[in-house]
Amino acid sequence: MAVDSTLSSPLGPPVCDKDAKALRFIEEMTRNADAVQERVLAEILSRNAETEYLKRFKLDGATDRETFKTKIPVITYDDVQPEIQRIANGDRSPILSAHPISEFLTSSGTSAGERKLMPTIKEELDRRQLLYSLLMPVMNLYVPGLDKGKGLYFLFVKSETRTPSGLLARPVLTSYYKSEHFKTRPYDPYNVYTSPNEAILCPDSFQSMYTQMLCGLIERNQVLRLGAVFASGLLRAIRFLQLNWVELAHDIRTGTLNSKITDQKLKNHMKHFIKPDPELASFVIQECSNENWEGIITRIWPNTKYLDVIVTGAMAQYIPTLNYYSGGLPLACTMYASSECYFGLNLNPMCKPSEVSYTIMPNMAYFEFLPHESGSTRIVDLADVEVGKEYELVITTYAGLYRYRVGDILRVTGFHNSAPQFHFVRRKNVLLSIDSDKTDESELQRAVENASKLLVKFNTSVVEYTSYADTETIPGHYVIYWELLTKTDSANSSNSPSHEVLNKCCLEMEESLNSVYRQCRVGDHSIGPLEIRVVKSGTFEELMDYAISRGASINQYKVPRCVNFTPIMELLDSRVVSVHFSQDLPHWTPERRR
Ligand code: AMP
C-alpha cells in the first residue's frame, strides 16, 4: 500500500497511513509540549471549577498555572483519601471531578495495607486507548513485517470488588480488557494476538494461562513477538509451561481440551480451534523434556523478533533470566503507565534495557516535577526539567487528582522535540518487590515485629534483620535474615524456638504484609513462600565491620533493611544456621479490610 507522503514523520518512514497519522500526532504533541500542557491544565480546571475540592482552595474559576500552583497544594494519597472514601461510600456530588466517577482503579501501591483506590472517569479509557494506538506505529519503525504474524501475549484479568456504594474497584488492565475498546477492537494486521478474548477474559488464572499457552503452541510458527505486561509475568508463563507441558502436549496430540478447562465460553471457542496434531505434540515433548531450557523461547517460537515486557524499574532483576530463556532476544519496554494515569511511551523501543527512556505525552494529564534530593524544592513544568536531574512525578488528571505525587523517581535523559524523555529510576520507598507487590521499610518492620511476638514465650527476640528479593527461583520469594537472641533460662535451658515455630513466623510475616503481596501469593501464585534464614549471633556486627572497611562512617552506620550486594549476601549466607519457610498461604480475599 502506498503511504501518503505528506504524512511522513521525522521519527522514520511509517509503514502505512494509520501509522503515519499516529507518528504525526506524536510529533505535534512533543513539538508543542508546553502549549499542550497549558491547554490540558486549563481544560481540567475549567471543567472541574465547581468541584468541592477546587472550590475549597478558592481557585475561583482560574485556569492559569500560576494561580493553580499558588493555591493548590501538592499532595499524597493519604491527603485525598477522605474524599476518595466518601465517593466510594456513595457521595455522588462533584467532589473531585465534574464528570461522574465511573469506577475505581486499584493500584498496586498500597495505603494502610490495602490497594489505593484511584478514581477514574469514562473518557479516560479513550485517553488510554490513544496511548496504546501509538505503540505499534513506533515499533513498526524498528521491526519490519510485524503484520506477517501474531503476538503471543499473556494477558489476564484479576478479581474485582465493589465499594460500599456499588462502584467497581479493579486493576486498570482488568478494566481495559473488559472494555468495548479492547473486546471489539477493529482488526489491525499489526496487532493480532494468538490469545483469544475468551482466554484473556477468563477469571480463572489457571484456565486462562493454560489456553493462552495452548493457543501459543498451536500457532508457534506464526508468533513474531512474545509478551506480558511485566517481566515477572512472562517468566511465570515459562514456569507454567515447565509444569504443564505434558498435559498441553496431550491436548495437541488428541485435539481435545484438558478437563480442567471448565469455562463454557472458553470451551466453545477452543472446540473449533484445537485439532489433533501429533507432529507438533512430539515437538513440544522433545523440547520440553530436555533438561536444558536455555533458549527455550526461540526453540519453541523460532520467529520471535523480540520480547515485549517491562524490564525497567524493579523488573530489571529479571533481565538475566529472560536472556537465559530467550537466548538474548531484544527486550522492548514500550510504555510507562499507572492506575492514576497513563504517562508515555518509549520512542526507541529496541534500545538496551539500561538505556530505556520514556517520553511523557503532554496530552495525557498535567505533569509537574519535584526535584529529588537536589536541595531545590521548586517544582517545575514538563518543558522546564533539566537533563541529568532527578525528579518525582506529580500529576493533575482529568479524573480529579490535583498535584498528586505518584511516588516515581525519574531522571531526564534528553528531549524529543520539546518533550523531555525520562529514565525510570525507581519507585520511592520500595524495599522488596517480586511481582507487582511493593513492600516498604515500615511494612517489613511491622511484619518482623508481629512475627517476633511468637518468639516471646521462648525468651527469644530478633536483634537484627535484613532482607532480599530472591528471584533465582520462579516464582521469586522474600528472604529475611534474622539474628536471634535467646536469653538463657537456667530452669529451662533448651527452650529456644523450634523449627515449626520459626516456620510459623514466616507465615505470620506474610499475614502482616500488604494485600498486594498476599494476592500475589494466594491469587496469582506469582510469589513463593517467604523464607527466614537464621544467622549466627554476631553476623550483623560482621556486616557492620565489612561496611566500615569499605568506607562507611561508624557513627552513621545503619543496618540495611534490604541487601543485594553479592559479597554481603555471601557473608550472610555463610553464617546461616537454619532455614525456614511458610508452610501455608496467608489470608487473602478480594474484599478490602477497610
Ligand atoms: P499501578 O498503579 O499498580 O498501575 O502501578 C504503576 C506503577 O508501576 C508506576 O507508578 C511505576 O512505579 C510502575 N511502572 C509502570 N510502568 C513502568 C515502566 N515502564 N517501568 C518501570 N516501572 C513502571
Q: Are residues 484 and 381 in the same domain?
A: no
Q: Are residues 421 and 438 in the same domain?
A: no
Q: Are residues 365 and 509 in the same domain?
A: no
The CB of 309 under 6 Å from ligand 1? The reply is no
The CB of 540 under 6 Å from ligand 1? The reply is no
Q: Are residues 394 and 470 in the same domain?
A: no
Helix (H) or strand (E) holding 118: strand 114-120
**If we measure between CA atoms, which residue out of 160, 111, 117 comes closest to residue 339?**
117
Predicted local confidence at residue 318, as pLDDT: 94
Contacting residues for 107 by C-beta, under 8 A, at least 6 apart: 115, 116, 117, 118, 338, 339, 340
CA of residue 474 to ligand 1 center, whole Å? 21
CA of residue 560 to ligand 1 center, whole Å? 25
Predicted local confidence at residue 385, as pLDDT: 97
The CB of 149 under 6 Å from ligand 1? The reply is no
Q: Are residues 466 and 577 in the same domain?
A: yes
- Amino acid residing at 554: I
Cell of 270: 477452543
CA of residue 567 to ligand 1 center, whole Å? 30
**Is 512 contained in some domain?**
yes
Helix (H, G, I), strand (E, B) or coil at 485: strand
Cell of 296: 527455550
Encode 413-480 in three state secondary structure: EEEECCEEEEEEEEECCCCECCCCCCECHHHHHHHHHHHHHHHHHHCEEEEEEEEEEECCCCCCEEEE
Mutate to test the pocket of ligand 1, among 106, 310, 359, 404 (most ligand atoms within 8 A of CB): 310
Confirm if 63 and 42 have CB atoms less than 8 A apart. yes
**Is 142 contained in some domain?**
no
Q: Which among 379, 396, 427 is the end of a domain?
A: 427
Which of ligand 1's atoms lies nearest the C-alpha of 406? 10
Q: Are residues 294 and 343 in the same domain?
A: no
Burial class (CB in 10 A: 0-12, 13-18, 19+), 325: buried
The domain in which residue 233 lies consists of 147-304
Which of ligand 1's atoms lies nearest the C-alpha of 358? 19
Q: Could you list the pLDDT tens digit for every one of the 594 residues in the chain?
A: 455 655 568 889 999 999 999 999 999 999 999 999 999 999 999 999 999 999 999 999 999 999 999 999 999 999 999 999 999 999 999 999 999 999 999 999 999 999 999 999 999 999 999 999 999 999 999 999 999 999 999 999 999 999 999 999 999 999 999 999 999 999 999 999 999 999 999 999 999 999 999 999 999 999 999 999 999 999 999 999 999 999 999 999 999 999 999 999 999 999 999 999 999 999 999 999 999 999 999 999 999 999 999 999 999 999 999 999 999 999 999 999 999 999 999 999 999 999 999 999 999 999 999 999 777 779 999 999 999 999 999 999 999 999 999 999 999 999 999 999 999 999 999 999 999 999 999 999 999 999 999 999 999 999 999 999 999 988 999 999 999 999 876 555 567 899 999 999 999 999 999 999 999 999 999 999 999 999 999 999 999 999 999 988 888 899 999 999 999 999 999 999 999 999 999 999 988 766
Predicted local confidence at residue 58, as pLDDT: 97
**Is 278 contained in some domain?**
yes
CA of residue 301 to ligand 1 center, whole Å? 28
Q: Are residues 23 and 86 in the same domain?
A: yes
Q: Which among 404, 427, 450 is the end of a domain?
A: 427
Burial class (CB in 10 A: 0-12, 13-18, 19+), 593: exposed
Helix (H) or strand (E) holding 151: strand 150-153
The CB of 108 under 6 Å from ligand 1? The reply is yes
CA of residue 310 to ligand 1 center, whole Å? 9
**Is 6 contained in some domain?**
no
Q: Count structural domains, the chain.
A: 3
- Ordered DSSP codes for 287-326: HHTSS--TTHHHHHSTT--EEEEE-SGGGGGGHHHHHHHH
Q: Which among 369, 393, 427 is the end of a domain?
A: 427
Q: Are residues 434 and 387 in the same domain?
A: no
The CB of 172 under 6 Å from ligand 1? The reply is yes
**Is 314 contained in some domain?**
no
The CB of 427 under 6 Å from ligand 1? The reply is yes
Confirm if 367 and 359 have CB atoms less than 8 A apart. no
Half-sphere exposure of 450 (CA within 13 A, CB side): 15
At residue 426's C-alpha, the angle toward residues 423 and 432, to 5°, is: 150
**Is 258 contained in some domain?**
yes
Confirm if 24 and 7 have CB atoms less than 8 A apart. yes
Mutate to test the pocket of ligand 1, among 111, 338, 436, 438 (most ligand atoms within 8 A of CB): 338
Q: Which protein residue's CA is at the shortest distance from atom 16 of ligand 1?
A: 336
**Is 330 contained in some domain?**
no
| pTM confidence score | 0.93
Predicted local confidence at residue 71, as pLDDT: 98
CA of residue 121 to ligand 1 center, whole Å? 20
Q: Are residues 271 and 159 in the same domain?
A: yes
The CB of 30 under 6 Å from ligand 1? The reply is no
Cell of 81: 483519601
**Is 7 contained in some domain?**
no
Confirm if 560 and 550 have CB atoms less than 8 A apart. no
Q: Are residues 192 and 298 in the same domain?
A: yes
Q: Are residues 266 and 370 in the same domain?
A: no
The CB of 430 under 6 Å from ligand 1? The reply is no
Q: Are residues 439 and 577 in the same domain?
A: yes
DSSP 8-state code for residue 55:
H
